[in-house]
Amino acid sequence: MTELLASYIRDKITVTDEELQTILSYFKFIKLKKNEVLLSHGEASQRTFFVNKGCVRIFFINNDGQESTRYFAFENQFATALVSFITSEPSEELIQAVESSEVFYITHKNFFHLLDTIPQWEKFYRGYLELAYVNNTNRLMSFLTQDAIEKYRLLLEENPVVVRRLSNKMVASYLNISQETLSRLKSKL
C-alpha cells in the first residue's frame, strides 16, 4: 500500500532499502471522508500528509468569512501548514479533504527524528522546502501581476486537474476570484 509514497521518496533521495523501510515505518495511513478537517484554525500543525488517493486543500478564512485556498495536494503530493509545522505555533490555515481520500501522515516529532537519524532525509526536507518556496512565490507573483483571465489560463496550463476535479467554488477560492467571475472566464474560453 505504501508503493506510491516509497516511489515518491526514492525519486527525491537515494536511500538503502533499510533506510526506506525505517522512513516508511513512521508514516501512518488514514482514510478521510469528503470535507473532513485535518487541521483547524488555531491548532499547531503536528502532521505532514502525503496524498495516496484523493485531494486535500490548505486554506484560510478571512475576517469576512471568505475562504481562500493556498494549495491543493492531489495524488503523489505532500501537504502541510508549513509555517505552523516549522514553528509549532498555532496555524492560521486549515487542512481539509475535498474528496474522499487516503493519506499517509508523519508526525512533527517523527519527521524531525528522521532528520537526526537518516542523513538523506535532510536532503528530502530541503527539496520539500525549496518546492514550497517556489510554489508560494509563484502564486504570490501571479496575484500581484496577473488579472483573473491570466491566472485562470495559467491554472489550465500548469494544473488542469484542479479545474477538472474540483467545484467552481474551490477553483474560484484558489484563484482568489468570485464564482461569478470564474463562470464568465469559463464561457470566454
The confidence score (pLDDT) of residue 187 equals 86
Residue 1 clears pLDDT 90, i.e. is over it? no
Per DSSP bridges, beta strands 94-97 and 56-61 are antiparallel
Residue numbers of the domain that contains 26: 3-120
> In Å, how far are 81, 170, 179 from 97, measured between CA atoms?
14, 12, 21
Residue 189 clears pLDDT 90, i.e. is over it? no
User: Is 41 exposed, middle or buried (CB count within 10 Å of its CB: 0-12, 13-18, 19+)?
Assistant: middle
Select from 154, 155, 175, 173 the least CA-distant residue to 164: 155
Instruction: Check which CATH number belongs to the domain holding 51 and give it.
Output: 2.60.120.10
Average pLDDT, the chain: 95
User: What's the pLDDT tens digit per position in 12-49?
Assistant: 999 999 999 999 999 999 999 999 999 999 999 999 99
Would 30 be classed as within a structural domain?
Answer: yes
Would 106 be classed as within a structural domain?
Answer: yes
CA 88 to CA 46: how far, in whole Å?
A: 7
pTM greater than the 0.85 cutoff: yes
The confidence score (pLDDT) of residue 6 equals 97
Task: Give the number of domains in the chain.
Answer: 1
CA 112 to CA 45: how far, in whole Å?
A: 13
Select from 89, 80, 69, 83 the least CA-distant residue to 162: 69
Would 52 be classed as within a structural domain?
Answer: yes
Say if CB 13 and CB 120 are below 8 A apart. Answer: yes
Would 60 be classed as within a structural domain?
Answer: yes
